[in-house]
Structure 1
Amino acid sequence: MFRLDIDEEITLIQIQESHAEELFRLTDKSRKELREWLPWVDGTKSKRDSLTFIRLTLNSYEAKKALNCGIFYRGKLCGMAGFNSIDWQNLNAQVGYWLATDFVGRGIMTRSVSGLIEYAFYELELNRIEIRAAVENSKSRAIPERLNFKHEGVVRQAEWLYDHFVDHAVYGLLRSEWR
């Protein structure tokens, strides 16, 4: 099982089947805020749905295509972060993340994503990290901006979000640009 200690408060742990109940409760408690930007929220109606998601992520990890981690802040699950996809041929990965409402504003996500970047560049030896976020999602866009990603452009109507399309801001960071 993958584990990455970020600092004395934050640990990323590969999400496991045993986390399904806790993950569902966390999602359900922040449902309104998460739904604004994440298309999967309405489909997460029970612990079983969270368990299905976890099983899919474990299969993707086994296939070396992704790595999805729970963010544990002071030992408590507070969100998710990881590589939604890893392209080994081109040595790049796409980072995705979300944080429960009660944990916003503590620097948790910036520190978590920074740790993932370190791991990607120095352990996995990837060359490029990409983050995409809805153009109007200022909180999500603040993460790559804070970490000195380059804003590379906008993909128009990149994602169907319940009843409308949203444009995505695309951010990229190369290993040669990190730190």
Structure 2
Amino acid sequence: MFVLPVDNELYLRIAEEKDAEELFKLIDRSRESLREWLPWIDRTIRKEDTITFIQFSQKGFAEFTSMNLVILYREKIVGVAGFNEMDVENKVLSIGYWLGQCYQGNGIMNRVVRLLADFALNHLHFNRIEIRIAVGNKKSQAIPEKLGFKKEGVLRETEWLYDHYVDHIVYSLLASDNLE
């Protein structure tokens, strides 16, 4: 099983079908806060929907096209983070993440994204990492900004969020940049 340790209380690993119940309950408990920025919440209404996501994640991992991992904090699943897309030919990948509502504000995601960026640049030898975040999502924007990602610009109306389009800020980190 693929595991990425962050520190003594936090690690990432590939999701397994046995995680579906715990992951679904976390989504369900955080549904209101996650729905503000994540377009898939309304399509995740049963444990079986979470199993489908886990199977999709395992397939992407096996094909080296994505790497979505569950975040475990003190042995509890608290969210998901990883590489949503991996362009091996161009050495470019994108990081995505979400955290259950009751685990936000404790620095967990800063530690996770720092590890993912380091792993992408120094172990997988990618050249460019992107993070795209909706313009109004200040909590998520704080993470790449704190870690030294460069704000490149805004993609207008790039994501349909339930009943409206949202703009995304594009952040990037290159292998030649310094991760803070």
Amino acid in structure 2 at the alignment position of 1:73: Y
Partner of 2:92: 92
Amino acid in structure 2 at the alignment position of 1:116: L
For 1:28 and 1:22, the matched residues in 2 are separated by 10
**Which SS does the other structure have where 2:7 is aligned?**
coil
Amino acid in structure 2 at the alignment position of 1:9: E
**Which SS does the other structure have where 2:176 is aligned?**
helix
Pairs within 5 Å for 1:87-126: 87-126=87-126
Partner of 1:51: 51
Tell me the CA shift for residue 178 of structure 1: 2.5
Query: How does the TM-score come out when normalised to structure 1?
Result: 0.98
Partner of 2:135: 135
Unaligned ranges ≥5, structure 1 = none
Amino acid in structure 1 at the alignment position of 2:161: L
Q: Aligned pairs, how many?
A: 179
Tell me the CA shift for residue 9 of structure 1: 1.4
For 1:104 and 1:140, the matched residues in 2 are separated by 10
Amino acid in structure 2 at the alignment position of 1:89: E
Tell me the CA shift for residue 40 of structure 1: 0.2
Unaligned ranges ≥5, structure 2 = none
Structure 1: which 4+ aligned runs deviate by more than 3 Å? Answer: none
Amino acid in structure 2 at the alignment position of 1:139: K
For 1:126 and 1:14, the matched residues in 2 are separated by 20
Identical-residue share of aligned pairs (%): 51
**Which SS does the other structure have where 1:178 is aligned?**
coil
Q: Deviations over 1:129-162 (max 9, x none)?
A: 0000000000111110010100000000010000
Q: Deviations over 1:78-137 (max 9, x none)?
A: 000000010001101100000001001110000000000111011101111000000000
Partner of 2:72: 72
For 1:178 and 1:100, the matched residues in 2 are separated by 29
Query: How does the TM-score come out when normalised to structure 2?
Result: 0.98
Query: Over aligned residues, Cα RMSD in angstroms?
Result: 0.7
For 2:69 and 2:178, the matched residues in 1 are separated by 22
For 2:178 and 2:3, the matched residues in 1 are separated by 22
Partner of 1:169: 169
